[in-house]
Amino acid sequence: MILLRGVSKTFDGKRKVTALERIDLSIAKGEMASIVGPSGSGKSTMLNLIGGLDRPTRGEVELDGQPLSKLSDDELTRVRRDKIGFIFQFFNLLPTLSCLENVSLPLHLRGWPRKKVEERARELLDLVKLSARIDHLPDELSGGERQRVAIARALSVYPPILLADEPTGNLDTQTGVEILNLIHDLHDRLGATVLIVTHDKTVAESCPRTIQLRDGRVFADTRREEVAR
């Protein structure tokens, strides 16, 4: 499903910073993996490369066997919109839009008919148990609720890949657990490939596979049969 071959990413500046160095990695369809590592180890960079938000300096990222390096910006966007859902640490909801509108956003962008968009958005909000908050603005929600909206938005097209960057990083422990459970639940129900960047041990250990990064390289790649839920 997700394949990284010799992927390197360096940031040019006054001092060259190598965020990732020759990473080879394969994540199978339906897998749920966490990426951990100290800050600056390249976790977020890797997630961004997989999500097509950024391009590697060297190497190739393939999604479903499709190499991303040859794609134009708009083609990349199309891949993103069809295959990937994002969950951010700071939710990144648009503050001016209601929950329903925020969730509808990707669907509208795909040009879906209005009626279908609304149907799906309501369905998704139902899924994340926010049916009661449909017309509220993000400011009126708690952190956990906001993240649930963000998750609903990420799932709006039932993407085969869900990328979460510190989804619980901005939440209290209790809410974090709820969100994590939601993600697991969705993974089980929808069968999507899920990648979670985190430095929360609980979160990491809840995933069957944990990829540890250190100084831009894969330091460890562990799979566990039993996960703590």
State yes or no: residue 71 binds another protein (CB under 8 A). Answer: no
Minimum separation from the CB atom of position 76 to another protein (A):
10
In whole angstroms, give the CA distance from residue 169 to residue 171: 6
What is the closest distance, in whole angstroms, from the C-beta atom of residue 108 to another protein in the complex? Answer: 4
- Our finding on whether 53 is near another protein (CB under 8 A) is yes
The H-assigned helical ranges of 51-191 are 73-83, 99-109, 114-127, 143-155, 173-190
Q: Which two tokens stand for residue 82?
A: 């069809």
Site for another protein in 75-134 (CB under 8 A): 77-78, 80-82, 86, 88, 90, 92-97, 101, 104-106, 108-110, 114, 117
State the minimum distance, in angstroms, from the CB of residue 193 to another protein. Answer: 17
Cα(174)–Cα(148) distance, integer angstroms:
14
Nearer to another protein, 104 or 210 (CB): 104
Chain Cα centroid distance, residue 210: 15
Q: Does 74 bind another protein (CB under 8 A)?
A: yes
d(C-alpha 175, C-alpha 97), whole Å: 23
- How buried is residue 167: exposed, middle or buried, by Cβ count under 10 Å (0-12/13-18/19+)? buried
Instruction: Provide the binding-site residues for another protein, judged by CB under 8 A.
Output: 48, 51, 53-54, 73-74, 77-78, 80-82, 86, 88, 90, 92-97, 101, 104-106, 108-110, 114, 117, 153-154, 157
